[in-house]
Structure 1
Amino acid sequence: MSFSLPDPDQILQPLPRSGASAAQTAPRRSLGGSRHLWWNEARLSGRDGTAAEVRDDAHHGAGFARISAARADLVGLSLNQPRIMGILNVTPDSFSDGGRHNLPEAALARAQEMLRDAEILDIGGESTRPGAAEVPVAEEIARTAPVIAALRAAGITAPISIDTRKAAVAEAALQAGANIINDVSAMRFDPDMAALAAQSGAPIVLMHSVATPETMQKHAHYDDVLWAVRDHLFQRVEAALSAGIRPENLILDPGIGFGKTTAHDLQLLRDLGSFHEFGLPLLLGASRKKFIGAITGAATASERVSGSVAVALQGAASGVQILRVHDTRETRQALSIWQAIQGNYHEE
């Protein structure tokens, strides 16, 4: 796979169209291989604050090609449409569902329920909510590996992601049957994570975050959050490539809610398209997060379902390939209606 990084000092952000309106555009370029989203112009922004619309790719051919190229399949799963990743926390203190799925039996039942609508499962054994304390490696392994093994023993073949910052936890999960690593620290927390990802060949999610979950909200200060997140992901992609991780195994996540204020989260959601120029799949994990409550007044995570679905649809309309959510049924229903409106519906 030929791969090149974008210009670090400019952002080429596609302006997507969808459905019937896309048929009127020429030339019509697919957004990351999407079946639903097309584009033929972009906004070019510089660090100095300059911005201009770009329609001709004569001077930005490599960037246009990266944005348009189909993304590599994820463990055999095509990313030509948004895929739902169901969150399965096996922790006693998750902000959303802590303690409900600790035992393998309960986790299996929830996994089977989610897979009616989701295509990927994300298993986590350490809460990374703001203020959460670190969980010892042995305890995190004991929480996650048996659950993953039980899911595979039950015949579940869907891709399984291990949500961890620790290489030993990820390795145990891979041995138990997981096949994706989701690292909220983008390999900064554990220096052994990069080597594990390279040697195993497992796809890895690189997320933007600052400090640790325990202290990250004290570090929510940026001159420009969009540039800060982009610079961070640029550096983490470079680190991954230097470690021998293949580019087709990289997935990017802007890290909504991790060391960010509500204003920061909203800016990143408005400008999700800014990250397409990397030419890599994008994951959005904003389900039930605090900013939804700050805007709507929904004090508890369970009251934020409708807001979470709205954010997921914003992600889909922005070309995000993976939507990481708690509420898989509600998200699938909304996504199915959105896809039908875009023209992906035929009466029998």
Structure 2
Amino acid sequence: MPTAHSVVTTEGPRVPEGLPAPGRCLVMGILNVTPDSFSDGGRYADTSRAVARGLELAAQGADLVDVGGESTRPGARPVGLEEELARTVPVVRELARAGVLTSVDTMHAGVARAAVEAGAGLVNDVSGGLADPAMARTVAGLGVPYVAMHWRAPSHEMDRRAHYGDVVADVTAELGTRLWRLVDEGVDPARVVLDPGLGFAKRPEHDWALLAGLAELRELGFPLLVGASRKRFIGAALAAGGAGDVPPAGRDVATAAVSALAAAAGAFCVRVHDVPASLDAVRMAAAYTEHLGRT
């Protein structure tokens, strides 16, 4: 497995080249250009509306805008390559022309290449290169930062794979193995960001354990992205706390609380639907951890 020493300074994991370094946890704004996203499906399927939303996210303070053209919600079915390209590439191109730092949320090497050629500055792959054997070498050749998420199976079958002994230890080990293979295929470890994959082949108790175990995951020596926004485990916690059945769009305040927890635990980036709330949350986490360092 790549050693931490290859990518870590004495101050922690190195910020991959091309990404901002504002001295706090980054906030990635979600832009789903799909008709079937679990949270806002269809709202931004039109290119012009998607571009307007991307500009709005940037104006709200998003450090980068993540454009995704294929839903990865539990039970979702894949879309064809041409459809995913048609959904994502025009949006990435227009946002890049406007000076917005964009990432592309895709499991497919062809979409990753086209999006980077259109101006995307990062590839966010929820499969960590497992869904498309060409992804690792494609990303290596593109030379952009790459988010590799913990993944066990496609969306339509991932819930059946949510079985762990110790979820933190298992996810850490599986991500470590995946890193070895990515680097072996030419991916520069200094450009890698890891994502524990909350909600992907995970039950709520697994998600909470991973959040509580971020320090152990950070021992891999790579920046961590946490994608908790509006997910089922947040809804389950709200329900258990007496809030009732809160739909995904009503979970943004709770998401911001999770963003603060993740940032305080050392997350490099949080991926969210509602940027302003989580931006304030990570700012508070930065102030809190700075104070801890002085006591």
Deviations 1:27-68 (A, max 9, x none): xxxxxxxxxxxxxxxxxxxxxxxxxxxxxxxxxxx69x7674
Distance 2:2 2:105 in 1: 27
For the residues of structure 2 that align with 1:119 and 1:185, how far apart are their CA atoms? Answer: 23
In structure 2, how many angstroms separate the alpha carbons of the residues matched to 1:95 and 1:166? 20
Tell me the distance in 2 between the aligned counterparts of 1:342 and 1:299: 31
Q: 296, 320, 324: which is aligned to 2:267? A: 320
Maintained 8 Å contact 1:182/1:204: yes
Q: Is residue 96 of structure 1 aligned with residue 39 of structure 2?
A: yes
CA–CA separation in structure 1 for the residues paired with 2:10 and 2:230:
29
User: Which residue in the other structure is 2:283 paired with?
Assistant: 336
Query: Normalised by the size of structure 1, how large is the TM-score?
Result: 0.77
For residue 87 of structure 1, report the CA deviation from its aligned partner.
Answer: 0.4
Q: Relative to structure 1, is the Cα distance of residues 79 and 190 closer, same or farther in structure 2, using a 3 angstrom cutoff?
A: farther
**Separation in 2, partners of 1:303, 1:98:** 15
After superposition, what is the alpha-carbon deviation per residue over 1:282-301, rounded to whole angstroms, capped at 9, x for unaligned?
10001000011111124410
Determine if the alignment matches structure 1 residue 289 to structure 2 residue 231: yes
Matches of 2:134 and 2:233, distance apart in 1: 33
Counterpart pick for 2:81 among 132, 137, 145:
137
Larger Rg, first or second structure (1 or 2): 1
Per-residue CA deviation, residues 81-109 of structure 1 (Å, 9 max, x unaligned), is 20100000000000111111112221122
Distance of aligned partners of 1:216 and 1:4 in 2 relative to their CA distance in 1, 3 Å threshold:
closer
How far apart in 2 are the matches of 1:275 and 1:229? 8
1:216 to 158, 163, 177: 158
Displacement, 1:5?
Answer: 2.2
Pick aligned residue for 1:238 from 158, 161, 180? 180
Given candidates 126, 142, 149, the residue that maps to 2:93 is 149
Name the structure where helix makes up a greater proportion of residues: 2
SS of 1:273's equivalent in the other structure is: helix
**How do 1:114-129 residues align onto structure 2 when only pairs under 5 Å count?**
114-115=57-58, 116-129=60-73
One-letter code aligned to 2:255: S
Whole-angstrom distance in 1 between the partners of 2:22 and 2:267: 9
Q: Which shows bigger deviation, 100-109 or 282-291?
A: 100-109
- RMSD across aligned positions (CA): 1.9
Percent identity over the alignment is 41
Q: Displacement of 1:70 after TM fit?
A: 4.6
Matching of residue 166 in structure 1 with residue 164 in structure 2? no
State the AA in 2 paired with 1:234: G
Shift of 1:74: 4.2
Cα distance change on mapping 1:224 and 1:343 into 2, 3 Å: closer
1:113 alignment partner AA: E
Which structure 2 residue ranges, 5 or more long, are not aligned? Answer: 240-244
* Deviation per residue, 1:6-35 (Å, 9 max, x gap): 6xxxxxxxxxxxxxxxxxxxxxxxxxxxxx
Residue correspondence of structure 1 range 169-208 to structure 2 within 5 A: 169-208=111-150
**Matched letter for residue 12 of structure 2:** A
SS in 2 for 1:334: helix
CA offset at residue 317 of structure 1?
0.7
> Displacement of 1:111 after TM fit?
1.2
Question: Secondary structure of 2:176's match?
Answer: helix
Task: Please say if 1:259 is aligned against 2:201.
Answer: yes
Q: Tell me the number of residue pairs that the alignment of Structure 1 and Structure 2 aligns.
A: 284
Alignment pair present for 1:78 and 2:21: yes
